[in-house]
Amino acid sequence: MSIQTLTDQLLSGHRRSLARLITYVENDHPDAAEALERLYPHTGQAHLIGITGAPGTGKSSLVNQLAQAYRRREQRVAVLAVDPTSPFSGGAILGDRIRMTELTGDPGVFIRSMASRGSLGGLARAVGDALKVLDAAGFDKILLETVGAGQSEVEIAKTAQTVIVVEAPGLGDDVQAIKAGILEIADIFVVNKADRPEAKRTAAALKMMLELGHAPAHHLLRHSLLASLDQTSPYEAAGPAWTIPVLPTVAINGQGLDEVVAAIEQHRQHLLDSGELALRDRARLIDELETTLQSELMRQVIARLPADVLAEMVARLDDRSLTPQAAAQKILAAVGLAG
């Protein structure tokens, strides 16, 4: 089947072509780039919602509840579950962990999981591309669940427009986010497992930390490309700042979910009213542009560099006759890119 037929089918709502195109971008299939070029003009409509937090806090249970809430509102929902720590992919492993029995068979719901691509950069790119495919397919809400509690999760969660950080009591630490550095990316905090008495303490600790003041960081990214255009801080949104809510939930029975759904809509409205939505999207796209340029430049340098030059550089690093910086300059000169 031609790539044009496949993308046309996706745009008209065909399910199998959706699964197939996601597999293409996931595996870096030779036709993936053309597919993305065709689909890209149709993206930009979906609301990308990230759900992140330490293992076992109840992210999948929450995603399940959110998906059902959106279905009741007649919205089409896609779920992308990402595990940067696991090499398994395709649906079985993570799919089991998303308990979505109520949703299976509903054509308005699409669930997919993605796992480690060997490198974080590879996974982040695959996720970014899969989100474009889902966006073009016309889903109203795309729920991106990321497992883990480290930098990799933060990197992937950043691609969402609204980021929900899920905390839960009784995981050994009052607030997991402090350790993991995910505090800065939260637009909404959910304290799940609010049926447990310790949940109140977790919520209080979070609120105290928020009062101490942490600037949201992910739309204040610095891009070298923008810096070169002398546009170093284009991301300051107008209007009142967003107040990060701390919402208790019991994801196993749906308690508190209406408040979460309302907060997500309020955040989206805030992003629209303040102009921040466009700025975040722009930051994300420039990020992708920079990352692509970096890896493409590196690929070209490696392709053009004679093996003996590289061996010589490494030997001179070993015997301390050349700094890594000077070696980089010599390598650029050897491939005709000296500044």
Ligand X SMILES: Nc1nc2c(ncn2[C@@H]2O[C@H](COP(=O)(O)OP(=O)(O)OP(=O)(O)O)[C@@H](O)[C@H]2O)c(=O)[nH]1
Residues 6+ apart with CB under 8 A from 119: none
> Of the listed pieces 70-78, 116-124, 190-198, 206-214, which binds ligand X according to CB under 6 A?
190-198
Q: How far apart are CA 249 and CA 194, in angstroms?
A: 6
| Partner whose binding site includes residue 141, from Mg ion, ligand X, none (CB under 5 to 8 Å by kind) | none
Work out which of 193, 218, 280, 284 binds ligand X, going by CB under 6 A: 193
| Partner whose binding site includes residue 257, from Mg ion, ligand X, none (CB under 5 to 8 Å by kind) | none
Considering the rule CB under 6 A, would residue 65 count as an interface residue with ligand X? no
Tokens in use for 315?
A: 């030997």
Considering the rule CB under 6 A, would residue 67 count as an interface residue with ligand X? no
Q: State the burial class of residue 135 (Cβ atoms within 10 Å of its Cβ: 0-12, 13-18, 19+).
A: buried
| Partner whose binding site includes residue 56, from Mg ion, ligand X, none (CB under 5 to 8 Å by kind) | ligand X
Closest CB to ligand X among residues 97, 330: 97
Residue carrying structure tokens 């939505």: 277
Smallest separation (angstroms) from ligand X to the CB of 144: 13
Residues forming contacts to Mg ion in the complex (CB under 5 A) are 59-60, 97
Considering the rule CB under 6 A, would residue 170 count as an interface residue with ligand X? no
Phi, psi of 172 (to 5 degrees): 95, -20
Tokens in use for 56?
A: 């076992």
Closest CB to ligand X among residues 60, 159: 60
Considering the rule CB under 6 A, would residue 192 count as an interface residue with ligand X? yes
**197 vs 144, 194, 250, 260, CA distance in Å?**
29, 7, 12, 20
Closest CB to Mg ion among residues 163, 331: 163
Work out which of 7, 17, 52, 60 binds ligand X, going by CB under 6 A: 60
Considering the rule CB under 6 A, would residue 59 count as an interface residue with ligand X? yes
CA end-to-end distance (rounded Å), the chain: 46
Considering the rule CB under 6 A, would residue 199 count as an interface residue with ligand X? no
Kindly give the residue spans of alpha helices, DSSP state H, lying in 229-275: 257-274
Contact string (CB under 6 A) for ligand X, positions 88-117, x = contact: ---------x--------------------
SS3 assignment, position 73: coil
**130 vs 80, 157, 184, 194, CA distance in Å?**
8, 14, 25, 33
Interface positions with ligand X (CB under 6 A): 55-61, 97, 147, 192-193, 195, 250-252
